[in-house]
Amino acid sequence: MSNQVDHAKRALRAELRERRQLLSDAQREAAASSLARQLDALVDDHRASSISCYLSTTTEPGTREFVTAAVRRGIRVLLPITREDGLLDWAVADDSDDVAEGLLGLPEPTGEVLGPIAVNDVDLMIIPAAAVDRAGTRLGWGRGFFDKTLGSMEQRPPVYAVVYDSEILDDLPLDLHDQPVNGIVTPTQTIPLA
């Protein structure tokens, strides 16, 4: 990664992190409910019976309501578990509230651990992001877990990044290892990208 790109990404992440901290609990709850409806419609549009998603942190657009509802609808949901080597293991979600603190302090599932290739069988991937641009460039939080996962897949299903509406930007710094997404989901809209 060039120093200029690295610096631009770090500065942007800090700004986005600060903006997310300013949201009230009421704003976060409303966004989570709206996001759940957007994600339900996305799953239906893709006729997905197996998906990957993630357990949101307190500042991310909330995915937990969606995950619980999807499981109850009979959708197989794989949730990521971070590993020391930078890859992701996966666990099948259930409709309980059992959550563990993962390697990086992130919320992670407590179920049976499946290896990194478990995600190869999903119909749709829903991943976190700090920001996304309309060209499909995704800015993550700098750890590279999802870029490594996406880069290692031979046949990727559609990949949608979840952000708040204000985090869809005109363009983002791009590095060689950055993996593009096929769409964006916010609490108010779903945008397929070409």
The per-residue pLDDT for range 51-74, each reduced to its tens digit, is: 999 999 999 999 999 999 999 999
- The pLDDT value recorded for residue 52 is 98
123 phi/psi in degrees, rounded to 5: -90, -15
Sign of dihedral through CA atoms 175, 179, 17, 104? negative
pLDDT at 1 exceeding the cut of 60: no
CATH superfamily of 3-192: NagB/RpiA/CoA transferase-like (3.40.50.10420)
pLDDT at 2 exceeding the cut of 80: no
**What pLDDT, in 10s, does the model give residues 62-117?**
999 999 999 999 999 999 999 988 889 999 999 877 787 777 777 888 888 999 99
pLDDT at 151 exceeding the cut of 60: yes
On whether the CB atoms of residues 175 and 5 are closer than 8 A, the answer is yes
pLDDT at 18 exceeding the cut of 90: yes
- The pLDDT value recorded for residue 5 is 86
Please state, as a whole number, how many other Cβ atoms lie within 10 Å of the Cβ of residue 98: 9
Please state the pTM of the whole predicted model: 0.93
Residue-range domain boundaries for the chain:
3-192
Percent of the chain surpassing pLDDT 70: 98
Percent of the chain surpassing pLDDT 90: 79
Lookup: tokens for 140: 């993550």
